[in-house]
Amino acid sequence: MNMLSRLLVVACLALPFTACKKEEAPKTEAVAAVPLPTSGEQKDWVPYLQYKLIPHMGGITNSPFVYFLPKNDTEDFGGKYERQLEKLETDLGRGITEGNMLVFASPVPEKEVEMIETAFKQVAPGTMNGVKVVFIGTPILGERVKAAVEPAGVNYIFEEAK
């Protein structure tokens, strides 16, 4: 019992010193660039999307809504496009609230932009304040997306696909 008492006294004396340790600055690791995938498979795009999205996750409270279209030579591309458009229209119709992020990426960004322009026509102006919309594509297409989504009041973020 005497030994246990001594250990408790030592622990009590050491505790203030360990608790007063200065806070260290958070360590930031350099993230290696992830190249743009050449595949049309969504699984091949996951590391690239993570690389592109991590810098924009501040203030996001939920998992991002990711809308991805495969290459247009994929079997049943037309059906996949229609289902993706329907999902986007349904999500927008229910309402996307502050703290959420919508992400658009595709090996066929022109078709993705067409989908965005179609779906965002139904969104009332100013109803998506505090929502981030990230488009990964070319600067010219990025301007089209910006024109389509900004009236909704979103925080639009363009990431060049490279």
Q: What single-letter amino acid sits at 81?
A: Y
Neighbour count for residue 10 (Cβ, 10 Å): 10
Tell me what the mean pLDDT of segment 86-98 comes to: 94
Q: Which of 156, 142, 136, 108 shows the shortest CA–CA distance to 51? A: 136
Report pTM. 0.78
- pLDDT beyond 90 at 148: yes
Q: Which pLDDT band, with edges at 50, 70 and 90, does 72 fall under?
A: confident
Q: Which of 113, 118, 104, 115 shows the shortest CA–CA distance to 157? A: 104
Model pLDDT for residues 94-136, shown as the tens digit of each residue: 999 999 999 999 999 999 999 999 999 999 999 999 999 999 9
